[in-house]
């Protein structure tokens, strides 16, 4: 005759599975639940990162200053031309004075162009791409800045050009020449070589 089932010995499968698993499940949940202060800390971090991202708009200030400086350089070159055009017309033949005058104008306009390129680069890199949403504002390819290496390359190239033009202007205006002009040329050549090397190795290291 079969023995009667013992009390508690023949529990249902559901009860046998649920019984031991409940503490384990509770332990698993309690092990992964984040502390109570974590959501507030996450919101604080998100708010700080958002504020830090929006702080890029501060770059608009130097952009405006660079644009105004470029306009001032262009205006100064125009003013010099207007004031000197009469004497330039009277001495229409090529002289050292006229050549130096043209080089001075070139130098002023190159400085203005350098400042304008720097303004475009700062805005394009830190704020937003100028031609990103409007095709009518399309910029030439050489004026688009993808990273700081592009901005560095364009500005250094313009600085080298300005230094070369300035040196030629000094040579044209100098009457005695001598060692002072030679030393100036050597210094300018050394600066240009250093900037060229810095630009080359900067591109290599930056990829």
Statement: residue 190 has pLDDT above 60:
yes
Reported in sequence order, the residue ranges of 54-144 that DSSP labels E, i.e. its strands, are none
Domain holding 117, by residue range, is 51-206
194: pLDDT confidence band, cut at 50, 70 and 90?
A: very high
Question: Is the distance from CB of 100 to CB of 172 less than 8 angstroms?
Answer: yes
Per-residue pLDDT for 72 more than 80? yes
Cα 188 from Cα 129, distance rounded (Å)? 35
Helix (H, G, I), strand (E, B) or coil at 5: coil
Between 188 and 144, the higher pLDDT residue: 188
Does residue 1 lie within any of the structural domains? Answer: no
User: Is the confidence at residue 186, as pLDDT, over 80?
Assistant: yes
Chain mean pLDDT for the chain: 76
Q: What phi, psi does 113 have (nearest 5°)?
A: -65, -40
The whole-number pLDDT of residue 25 equals 44
Q: How many CB atoms lie within 10 A of CB 137?
A: 10
45 pLDDT above the threshold of 60: yes
Q: What integer pLDDT is reported at residue 9 of this predicted model? A: 46
Provide the terminal-to-terminal Cα distance of the chain, rounded to the nearest Å. Answer: 88
89 HSE (CA, 13 A, CB side) = 6
Report the distance separating Cα 62 and Cα 114, nearest Å: 14
Interval 76-84 mean pLDDT: 87
d(CA 122, CA 143): 12
pLDDT band at residue 205 using 50, 70 and 90 as cut-offs: low
22 in any annotated domain: no
In a domain, 4, yes or no: no
Predicted confidence (pLDDT) at residue 78 exceeds the cutoff of 60: yes
pLDDT digit string, tens, across residues 112-166 = 999 999 998 888 888 877 765 565 567 777 777 888 888 888 899 899 999 988 8
Q: pLDDT-based confidence at 93, cuts 50/70/90? A: low
In a domain, 142, yes or no: yes
Measured CA to CA, the distance from residue 120 to residue 127 in angstroms comes to 10
Residue closest to 203 by CA, chosen among 189, 110, 160, 195:
195
More confidently predicted of 131 and 183: 183
Full DSSP string of 141-171: GGG--SSHHHHHHHHHHHHHHHHHHHHHHHH
Of 57-71, 119-133, 144-158, 179-193, the least confident: 119-133
In a domain, 132, yes or no: yes
Tally of structural domains, the chain: 1
Cα dihedral sign for 61, 67, 70, 74? Answer: negative
Supply the DSSP symbol for 178.
S
- Quote the percentage of the chain above a pLDDT of 90: 20
């Amino acid at each position: 005759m079969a023995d009667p089932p013992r009390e508690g010995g023949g529990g249902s499968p559901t009860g046998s599975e649920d019984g031991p698993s409940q503490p384990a499940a509770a332990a698993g949940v309690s092990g992964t639940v984040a502390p109570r202060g974590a959501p507030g800390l996450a919101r604080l971090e998100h708010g700080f990162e958002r504020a830090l991202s929006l702080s890029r708009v501060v770059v608009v200030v130097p952009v405006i200053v660079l644009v105004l400086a470029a306009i001032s350089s262009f205006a100064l070159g125009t003013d010099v031309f207007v004031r000197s055009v009469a004497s330039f017309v009277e001495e229409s033949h090529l002289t050292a004075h006229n050549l130096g005058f043209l080089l001075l104008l070139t130098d002023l306009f190159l400085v203005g162009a350098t400042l304008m390129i720097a303004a475009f680069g700062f805005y394009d890199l830190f704020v937003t791409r100028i031609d990103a949403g409007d095709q009518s504002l399309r910029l030439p390819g050489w004026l688009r800045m993808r990273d700081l290496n592009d901005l560095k390359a364009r500005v250094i190239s313009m600085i080298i050009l300005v230094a070369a033009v300035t040196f030629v202007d000094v040579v044209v205006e100098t009457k005695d020449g001598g060692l002072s002009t030679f030393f100036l040329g050597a210094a300018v050549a050394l600066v240009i070589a250093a900037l060229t090397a810095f630009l080359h190795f900067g591109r290599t290291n930056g990829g």
